[in-house]
Amino acid sequence: MSPPSSPITGVVLAGGQARRMGRRDKGLIDLAGRPMIDYVIEALRPQVDELLINANRNLPLYRRYGYRVVPDRVTGYPGPLAGLAAGLAEARHELVLTVPCDGPWLPPDLAVRLQRHLDAEGADICVAHDGERLQPVHGLFRRRLGADLTAFLAADGRRIRQWLERHPWVAVDFSDQPDAFVNLNTPEERDRIEREIRRRAGR
């Protein structure tokens, strides 16, 4: 598959509180001998022209990866939209791709498929759909949406779907990759996915 036609800034969203994970910094939790975020960076880096990490804790540890670390500009851990807003504000490119820090099997063609549909539909936002539900944290956004998102957050807006509906958006079917949007929200899910990673690696 050909690369994206326009440069993209990728943003790994690692700024949440991870309440169901005991409020541990999810991106740094060990998964089969590696921090969770390792898997995401490894999969995302070949797909983008710039990579940012959105984090609100342990910034020196995240900076060791060699990429710019951008904290939320809104206090109180308001959710992934705050991480997106930080990414839109700091991105060097007009297109911004977000992914969560806890998805070890990110699609290798995520960026190119999202951009293809974004351009074809003339939309401002393109998000993934796993065949059963929308996965809006895996999304491609135009940088010019930053001001509107900042205003939405300032008015205590938090729901991603509510903000999407303010703009032309489209979803892309990724049901051909059923494992792509597995994420780890609890210790039990972490253990289950770790067992699967080790099984696939023959360990």
- Report the CATH number at residue 177: 3.90.550.10
pLDDT level of residue 16 (50, 70, 90 thresholds): confident
Binding-site residues from annotation: 13-15, 26, 54, 72, 102
> What value does the mean pLDDT take over residues 162-183?
94
Find the domain containing 38 and state its range: 8-200
**Residue 179 reports pLDDT greater than 90:** no
Mean pLDDT, all residues of the chain: 93
Annotated binding residues for GTP: 13-15, 26, 54, 72, 102
Q: Residue 193: inside a domain, yes or no?
A: yes
Residue 21, pLDDT score: 76
Find all residues with CB under 8 Å of 171, minimum gap 6, and list them: 126, 127, 128, 129, 134
Print burial letters for 168-177: b (CB count within 10 Å at least 16), e (below 16): ebbbbebeeb
Flag whether 194 is in a domain.
yes
187 within domain boundaries? yes
Q: What digits encode the pLDDT tens for the residues 121-166? A: 999 999 999 999 999 999 999 999 999 999 999 999 999 999 999 9
Binding-site residues for Mg(2+), please?
A: 102
> What is the β-pairing status of strands 134-142 and 125-129?
antiparallel
Counting the structural domains of the chain, the total is 1
pTM of the model: 0.94
In a domain, 1, yes or no: no
